[in-house]
Amino acid sequence: MDRARAKACLVANLSLPGVGSLHVGRRVGWAQVVLASCGFVLSLVFGVWFMAEWLRSGELPMMTILNRGELPPGFLKFLLIGLAGLIVFGVALGWAFITSLLVYQEAKQHESH
């Protein structure tokens, strides 16, 4: 493996975690893709709820919380779903980034021999 392919792995993994790993033959990329997809879906659920709540009430959900001075019923569940989505996607991104760094290090060692 050469450095150019390792750099392509990094760029692809930062775009969609796991794709770069798969490109260089790392089967762990499948787990990274699944994890990133789950994080995306959770974030999408939050986004749909956010838009629906905004359209229903006529004000941004953050403003509803601020104006009431408390968390309205049902908000906590969707806020936690959104937070979980960010965390899950972040874990997938971090894992893919570490894989990319290991691939780059391996390419660097391979070129020096």
pLDDT digit string (tens) for 12-35?
Answer: 999 999 999 999 999 999 999 999
pLDDT, residue 20, reads 96
pLDDT, residue 62, reads 94
Report how many domains make up the chain.
Answer: 1
**Residue for token pair 């997938």:** 92
Burial of residue 56 (CB within 10 Å: 0-12, 13-18, 19+) is: exposed
pTM (2 decimals)? 0.89
**113 has pLDDT over 80:** no
Phi, psi of 58 (to 5 degrees): 85, 5
> Phi-psi region for residue 58, left (φ > 0), alpha (ψ -120 to 50) or beta?
left
- The CA distance from 62 to 65, in Å, is 5
